[in-house]
């Protein structure tokens, strides 16, 4: 949802500026196969305008009509789409999609949750769909807002929300006591830090922006930092990293200076930081030379640091051009974020949306 949140918020503000009411449609349950999963969102205006998608295009027009009716009634409702392969205008996924549609009020709980959904830490919004009433927002700092009735249900929902916030959970609907509750988990905007602003850094940065990453580019050469539209740029030599750059556990680092000594400094800096992913562009024997040089300087990465280090980076697609290398590298990061191994879906025995046992970044 991190990628959608800015688009949804911009569409909300634009609609309200024009005096238009809005409704948010959220996928709360998928049974079988469907184009998008739980947590997918779409905004609908009272005049039929919309932003974002809850499917591959097969549900949107009907969803707009339903949402406009719900806006007119002024209350939240659930609607169910049962894919029927005999309806040729649908893709024939063979699944059922349940969508919760609700009016959005300026500065209401839902609006404020969306505003903070891109924070550095996840938060959980739990909404009772049936068997009770209300919703509760578990904020990143552990504070609670909202209320669910009955109180016994509220307490149990909060316990589940806290468990989900501390792990790697995705949005899901659960049965809690006699109630159905949708737990929506926000995903902070992923961040990518590129050490090196060479000719191959621009395709990497541009594709990362398209995928919704916040991108920072670091290089000592000011002339190379020009032209990175939409990115933060930091002019810093290797001996200035500590004073100019602060890496966080939410950041993914790719080192691509194409200079052994500078890459060595950048690698040590990244490994000594809490950055969740540290990728070194280039072949494995080059990394081994850099690690040997670091060992001679007295720095030997510990097992935790080595677990975050990736080299060579990217999925094995035979990438050659800078654009292909960027595609492979970013695909690896997305796969690791979501607990997938990559590879060919054609060879996968499980469902296409089912994660593997890979650790989630």
Q: What is the pLDDT, as a whole number, of residue 36?
A: 87
How far apart, in whole angstroms, are the C-alpha atoms of residue 317 and residue 328?
7
pLDDT of residue 339: 82
> Which pLDDT value is given to residue 57?
82
Position 338 scores a pLDDT of 81
Q: Which two tokens stand for residue 341?
A: 């191994």
DSSP state letter for 355: -
Domain ranges of the chain: 1-104, 121-188, 191-338
Q: What is the model's pLDDT at position 239?
A: 93
Q: Which helix (H) or strand (E) holds 64?
A: helix 60-73
- pLDDT score of 120: 62
Widest CA span in the chain: 72
Please say whether the beta carbons of 360 and 337 come within 8 A.
yes
Q: Which secondary structure element, helix H or strand E, spans residue 69, and what is its range?
A: helix 60-73
Q: For each of the chain's 361 residues, which pLDDT tens digit applies?
A: 557 888 899 999 999 999 999 999 999 999 887 778 899 999 999 999 999 999 888 889 999 999 999 999 999 999 998 865 554 344 445 678 999 999 999 999 999 999 887 666 788 999 999 999 999 999 988 999 999 999 999 999 999 999 998 766 789 999 999 999 999 998 778 899 999 999 999 999 999 999 989 999 999 999 999 999 999 999 999 999 999 999 998 899 999 999 999 999 999 999 999 999 999 999 999 999 999 999 999 999 999 999 999 999 999 999 999 999 999 999 999 999 888 888 887 776 666 666 665 554 5
**May I ask the CATH architecture of the domain 191-338?**
3-Layer(aba) Sandwich (3.40)
What are the C-alpha distances in Å from 236 to residues 222, 242, 336?
9, 10, 29
* 14, 200 contact by CB (below 8 A): no
Residue 334: per-residue pLDDT: 93
Q: Which residues of 276-303 are buried (b: 16+ CB within 10 A; e: fewer)?
A: bbbbbbbeeeebeebbebbeeeeeebee
Q: Are 83 and 95 in contact (CB under 8 A)?
A: yes
């Amino acid at each position: 949802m991190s990628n959608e949140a800015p688009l949804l918020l911009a569409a909300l503000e634009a609609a309200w500026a024009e005096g238009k009411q809005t409704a948010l449609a959220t996928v709360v349950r998928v049974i079988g196969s469907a184009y998008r999963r739980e947590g997918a969102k779409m905004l609908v205006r009272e005049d039929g305008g919309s932003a974002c998608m809850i499917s591959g295009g097969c549900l949107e027009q009907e969803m707009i009509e339903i949402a406009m009716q719900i806006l007119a009634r002024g209350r939240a409702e659930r609607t169910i789409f049962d894919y029927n392969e005999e309806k040729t205008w649908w893709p024939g996924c063979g699944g059922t999609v349940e969508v919760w549609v609700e009016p959005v009020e300026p500065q209401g709980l839902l609006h404020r949750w969306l505003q903070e959904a891109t924070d550095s830490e996840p938060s959980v919004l739990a909404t009772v769909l049936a068997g009770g009433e209300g919703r509760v927002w578990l904020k990143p700092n552990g504070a609670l807002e909202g209320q669910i009735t009955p109180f016994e249900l509220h307490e149990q929902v909060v316990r589940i929300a806290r468990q989900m916030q501390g792990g790697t959970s995705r949005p899901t609907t659960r049965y809690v006591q006699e109630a159905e509750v949708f737990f929506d988990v926000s995903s902070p905007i992923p961040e990518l830090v590129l050490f090196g602003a060479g000719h191959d850094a621009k395709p990497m940065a541009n594709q990362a922006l398209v995928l919704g990453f916040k991108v920072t580019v670091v290089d000592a050469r000011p002339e190379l930092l020009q032209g990175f539209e939409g990115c933060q740029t930091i002019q810093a030599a290797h001996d200035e990293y500590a004073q100019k750059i602060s890496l966080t556990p939410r950041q993914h680092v790719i080192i691509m200076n194409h200079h052994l000594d500078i890459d060595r400094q950048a690698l040590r800096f990244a490994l000594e930081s809490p950055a969740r992913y540290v990728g070194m562009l280039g072949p494995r024997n080059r990394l081994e030379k850099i690690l040997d040089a670091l060992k001679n300087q007295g720095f030997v990465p510990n097992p935790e640091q080595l677990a975050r280090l990736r080299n060579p980076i990217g999925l094995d697609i035979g990438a050659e051009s800078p654009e292909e290398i960027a595609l492979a590298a970013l695909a690896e990061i997305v796969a690791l974020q979501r607990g997938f191994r990559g590879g060919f879906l054609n060879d996968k025995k499980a469902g296409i949306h089912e994660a593997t046992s890979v650790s989630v970044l």
